[in-house]
Structure 1
């Protein structure tokens, strides 16, 4: 039996960037087609009816865009968000979401939400799955620990599934990869990560920052994101 059978949930299914599910929606679901990475004009008008739940069908950058609107509208605490990825998803991999579309939708529509760390940056964006900086050169700190001095091949930042509910401590994990052939990886965890040095183009959930940055910070927001997860998730 699917999770949606016998469960009446009311909410919105956001079909981002031409995404389709290929099956009939359950009772109580209303579908809205929105552009890829929907913005203020696309999302805010849909929040006025106070939906119990949003289900985002699309890519990681689409989910992050919706999370940003919930943050800006101060709705992080009262709307649960399910996710049905339509392509490879670092978010789904990180949080153990089902890969098959119908199972993914069943989870997104009917399972319980959990508070997960919402990572922000000092350029006004959010991060839910994977942040990347390629070939960083400079000095970086994870909280008070020096994480990098010099250059590296790759820098990756993710929300930390092991983080607790205290938003004032921990929340993100950092992996720094050095060396082209013999790769050496350093892993750290903390609440904030800061990088300063040569200009880089950070990527947030698959979307490059619109301009090069010489300074960049990722940090855990003071309120978590209510992401719908399967019971067996991490």
Structure 2
């Protein structure tokens, strides 16, 4: 099949078999989105679903309509196919950890940004199981230790260990509330027998009793005794305010 150069392609990610309703109403932005070439994909498109689309259409920008898990799945395929120069815009179904992490709008404002916004390089966060993180990583009822770079943020037990990417790097917060990291550093004292804190850095390393890691709302298929998130050497290009 011959390649088709497509400036912008709309990827609608849903397991219903139909394209989800776009989060826009009667406006010129809705008309602009409706005019884009659209491809219906599974809710979490894999290599077989997405790679042929990328190879055939060779887009400058993809607009991802779906969940944080869909956005992560698309970003992973861009990484694996050496296409991190492709711009990524996000049309979320609702406010989400990814919209909070990157300061992204929803609804009509998201549509306007997807059509008219500029892309800029932002940190790409990977993990040691081969995945990527776009919004929120979480371990629940965790017991062990966690470091962000050389800052100790968990020793002992916490109800939640939350990791989030962002423009400044990778944030992590351990505690009992489950709130997202706020970018501040609150280390656990090196000699403390237990404690929780927070930090911002380039890598987060967790060693714990076997636990299930949830990445962008998707539980890892196996419990693991350790996990690492780290900043990739290359950024991705996100359309954001």
Q: Deviations over 1:180-231 (max 9, x none)?
A: 9xxx96220111111112011111111111111111111111111111012x
Which digits, 9 at most, give the CA deviation of each residue in 1:61-115, with x for residues without a partner?
A: 0000000000000111x20000000133111122222222x32112012200111
- SS of the equivalent of 2:37 reads strand
Equivalent residue number for residue 32 of structure 1: 39
Q: CA RMSD in A?
A: 2.0
State the TM-score, normalizing by the size of structure 2.
Answer: 0.81
What is the correspondence of 1:1-234 to structure 2 with a 5 Å cutoff?
Answer: 10-17=7-14, 18=18, 19-21=20-22, 23-26=30-33, 29-48=36-55, 49-76=57-84, 78-100=85-107, 102-161=108-167, 163=168, 171-178=169-176, 186-230=197-241
Alpha-carbon distance in 1 for matches of 2:204, 2:61: 31
Q: CA deviation at 1:25?
A: 4.1
Tell me how far 1:153 sits from its aligned partner.
Answer: 1.1
Tell me, in whole angstroms, the C-alpha distance in 2 between the residues paired with 1:139 and 1:186. 11
Unaligned runs of 5+ residues in structure 1 are 1-8, 164-170
**How many residues in Structure 1 have an aligned counterpart in Structure 2?**
209
Alpha-carbon distance between aligned partners in 1 of 2:201 and 2:150, rounded to the nearest angstrom: 9
Spell out structure 1 runs of 4+ moving beyond 6 A.
none
Separation in 1 of the partners of 2:222 and 2:76?
19
* Structure 2 residue runs without a partner (length 5+): 1-5, 25-29, 179-194
